[in-house]
Chain A
Amino acid sequence: MIFRPSREDMKLIGWGIGRVILGIGIIMTVPLVVAVVSTEWNVVLDFLVGITACVTFWLVAENTCHVKKDLTWFHGLIVASAGWLFAMGFGAIPHFLSGHFKSYLDACFDLMSGYTTTGLYLLQDLDHVAYGTNMWRHLLSYAGGQGIIVIALTFLFAGTAGAFKIYASEGKEEKLLPNVIRTARAIWMISLTYLVVGSFFLWLGLMWGGMAPGRGFLHSVWLFMGAWSTGGFAPQSLNLLYYHSFIIEMITLGIFVIGSFNFALHYSVWTGRRTEVFKNIEVRSFAITSLIATFMLSIGFGKMGLYTSLTEFFRKGFYNLVSGHTTTGNSTVFSTSFFGEFGFIAMCAITIAMAIGASACSTGGGLKGLRMGIFTKSLWGDIRRLVSPESSVIMEKVHHVHDIWLDDALVKGTMLIIISYVVIYSVGGLLGTIYGYSPSVAFFDATSAGSNTGLSAGLTTPLMPALLKVYYIFEMWAGRLEFMSVFALFGMGIALVKGRRTGTR
């Protein structure tokens, strides 16, 4: 039996979404200021329209949906999942008005790609985009990396006892500090510190390469935001290839690998538990899977006779592999090179690395290192059980900030999420194949969308079928929220139609 949500439940959800949309409106003031300073008056108008729409929605939600009740898990899940969809719709307004998109659907695609730190884009003529619009692209990726719910929690949900429920519903279950609002602020403190440090080094690197200080400053901030959030956006259509700079590639590589680490890990290492980085299951898992994928990539390149010098091998091979593994999507080759030059084995290596993805509670996506660790350890536990005497009790544990003992519920939950990822990757790949794309290209781009990576083998363009665009938006959204909130939203849809009327939750 399933219960239909009451009117009060719907009001509470509407109120929460209103707060999230207000957060989006507040973030839009940054590109607005950049547009004013750059005297891009058309862009100023685009953002004024966007901000007005967000504030109007918030005012309506605040005045019509406010109820004296706290959020439950159900409300938190729905606010997170539906909040991202509403945020996509409102955030796409300035994008669509910029004139760089074929349709509103394309603008929504780029918005979801930015929020979920994917990095795929359908924007046209990227090399001539206004500073304000470019700032918006990178900022929403940076903000989405921390989680748009985290932003709302930091500023707009203070004093709400149900705050943890919406925080956890966004795919982040870890509390760095006992209080969830302070956890959200700690996440921001880490990200902002790295923003200053990372952008500074990038700025030096760009000026060393001959870029003017003013333009170099903007590029350094945008490159940092794209890399740290593991979004992979860059201000030029050639992505990292535009800079032809070994220094910039190495700095961005460092930024996106560190950005793909768990925020709980950052906090532990920063606050005195220095050895955590060596013991943590996610770092170990990342190191091992990176080396296995590097092995595959090297064999693939060797067979194809690609990149004869070791430096090129590293810059074109390892860089793109790790960019895929951390679900970033920054690239030092043309997108067509993955299919046209890399060959099947190297492409498989990158696809597998993308599917595995980064750390839990980080800016990255994919199955996550923690789940790979739990899966591997539980498999090892089963093997040990098979070869041990029947009376022996065998328990496995993983180390992530503290020791976690593996029980059936944890393994079952982990497997459910892993299967969900595999299903969305596979359906996307099959859909692309049905539309006539090469299977390796279709599965590469579908895995890239579902794992929130952003590397493309050439399928993702404004000319791709509309149904594939919608499916990729779904993949990006479901993959970023790690399914539970999405399942809850579908469940609510069914409950609204078929549910039994009852009191409030």
Chain B
Amino acid sequence: MEEGISRGNEQSRWRRWGGYALGILIESATVIAISLAALLLMFLIKAIMT
């Protein structure tokens, strides 16, 4: 039984850290999306002004 509890704790720890890693990926993707939108805007204005 103790072994079962220990395995359960281990799984929940992996699940928790997996969630954290996914969170980091989502936040990074948000930054990339905002940067790409800004880059596109810069390109459009540059194209219009030249």
Chain B interfacial residues counted at CB < 8 A: 23
Chain A interfacial residues counted at CB < 8 A: 32
Taken residue by residue from 254 to 292, chain A's Cβ proximity to chain B (1 for < 8 Å, 0 otherwise) reads as: 100110010000100111101001100001001100110
B19 within 8 A of A: yes
Taken residue by residue from 344 to 362, chain A's Cβ proximity to chain B (1 for < 8 Å, 0 otherwise) reads as: 0000000000000000000
Q: Is the CB of B31 within 8 A of A257?
A: yes
Using A298-B45, A298-B46 as known contacts, say yes or no to A310 and B39 having CB atoms under 8 A apart.
yes
Q: Is the CB of A193 within 8 A of B20?
A: yes
Docked Cα-Cα span, A10 to B47, in Å, equals 64
Q: Is the CB of B27 within 8 A of A310?
A: no
Taken residue by residue from 289 to 332, chain A's Cβ proximity to chain B (1 for < 8 Å, 0 otherwise) reads as: 01100110011001000000010011001100010000000000
Given the complex, which residues of B lie within 8 Å of A310, measured CB to CB? 39, 42-43, 46
B12 within 8 A of A: no
Question: Interface of B with A (CB < 8 Å)?
Answer: 19-20, 22-24, 26-28, 30-32, 34-35, 37-39, 41-43, 45-46, 49-50
Q: Is the CB of B46 within 8 A of A277?
A: no
Residue from A253, A266, A314 within 8 A of B27 (CB atoms): A266
Q: Can you name 12 A-B pairs with beta carbons within 8 Å?
A: A197-B24, A254-B31, A257-B34, A271-B19, A272-B19, A277-B26, A290-B38, A298-B42, A299-B49, A310-B43, A314-B42, A318-B38
Given the complex, which residues of B lie within 8 Å of A283, measured CB to CB? 30
Q: Is the CB of A270 within 8 A of B23?
A: yes
Question: Smallest distance from the beta carbon of B24 to chain A beta carbons, Å?
Answer: 6
- B44's nearest neighbour on chain A, judged by CB, is A298
Docked Cα-Cα span, A27 to B12, in Å, equals 33
A334 within 8 A of B: no
Using A310-B39, A314-B39 as known contacts, say yes or no to A258 and B45 having CB atoms under 8 A apart.
no
Q: Is the CB of B30 within 8 A of A277?
A: yes
Q: Is the CB of A291 within 8 A of B38?
A: yes
Docked Cα-Cα span, A299 to B49, in Å, equals 8
Q: Is the CB of A258 within 8 A of B31?
A: yes
Given the complex, which residues of B lie within 8 Å of A313, measured CB to CB? 42, 46
Candidate in B22, B46, B50 with the most chain A CB atoms within 10 angstroms: B46
